[in-house]
């Protein structure tokens, strides 16, 4: 078992997706992201309704649905993983602790006003899944720029609700790992390269 079982925590818009993609590529890890898995299954019927009903409102998808995604992904991740977007509440954190140990818990810290600006300006390339920003990261290729779309849940009202849900449900998870010891806080401000260097220092220390 590798010593690269990494949990990346942080509010929506902190850069977890960008940074965990880089970590997965750099260290050849499985990238386990509940957000992407749920987006690919937005219309799936479950006994709680479809994931999309919760996601478009900025609410959490019920625990049994996300736990099942995570346990299946973990069972294939023998050479290490980076977990992104899970756990988002204390029950999920408890469930995770029954499934695996973690080697690194990294918290990406970004002030709230910057999160709103990042999320409402975010645009996604539907063909590649790559993220851009209307102001800070415009694609060079006008063809890509033309096909960019906004995630349904990146509209301002939903962003505010996602941040509220984060404060209510996920901040206690951050506190839980902080109290348990071993949580390392990294500034998520600056360029993606700068942030990645900070995370790499933590993972390699």
Indicate which residues carry an active-site annotation.
16, 88, 122, 151, 162
Residue 16: left if φ>0, alpha if ψ -120 to 50, beta else—which one? Answer: alpha
Which of 86/196 has CB closer to ligand AMP?
A: 86
CB of 154 to ligand AMP, least distance (A): 9
Cβ closer to ligand AMP: 59 or 109? 59
Binding mask 30-59 for ligand AMP (x = CB under 6 A): ----xx--x---------------xx--xx
Instruction: Find all residues with CB under 8 Å of 108, minimum gap 6, and list them.
Output: 8, 9, 10, 14, 15, 16, 19, 186, 187, 188, 195, 199
Nearest distance, CB of residue 205 and ligand AMP, angstroms? 27
Could you say whether residue 199 binds ligand AMP (CB under 6 A)?
Answer: no
Q: How far apart are CA 153 and CA 44, in angstroms?
A: 18
Numbered residues of the known binding site for ATP: 13-18, 122, 190
Numbered residues of the known binding site: 13-18, 34, 39, 59-61, 85-88, 92, 122, 151, 162, 190
């Amino acid at each position: 078992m590798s010593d690269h079982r990494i949990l990346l925590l942080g509010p929506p818009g902190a850069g977890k997706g960008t940074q965990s993609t880089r970590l997965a590529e750099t260290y050849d890890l499985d990238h386990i992201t509940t957000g992407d898995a749920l987006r690919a299954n937005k219309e799936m019927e479950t006994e709680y309704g479809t994931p999309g009903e919760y996601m478009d409102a900025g609410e959490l998808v019920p625990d049994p649905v996300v736990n099942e995604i995570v346990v299946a992904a973990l069972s294939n991740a023998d050479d290490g993983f980076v977990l992104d977007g899970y756990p988002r509440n204390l029950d999920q954190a408890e469930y995770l602790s029954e499934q695996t140990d973690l080697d690194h818990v990294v918290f990406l810290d970004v002030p709230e006003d910057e999160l709103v600006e990042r999320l409402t300006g975010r645009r996604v390339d539907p063909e590649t899944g790559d993220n851009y920003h209307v102001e800070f990261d415009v694609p060079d290729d006008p063809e890509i720029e033309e096909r960019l779309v906004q995630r349904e849940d990146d509209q301002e009202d939903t962003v505010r609700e996602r941040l509220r849900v984060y404060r209510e449900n996920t901040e206690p998870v951050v506190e839980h790992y902080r109290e348990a010891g071993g949580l390392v806080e990294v500034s998520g401000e600056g360029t993606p390269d700068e942030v990645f260097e900070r995370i790499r220092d933590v993972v390699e220390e």
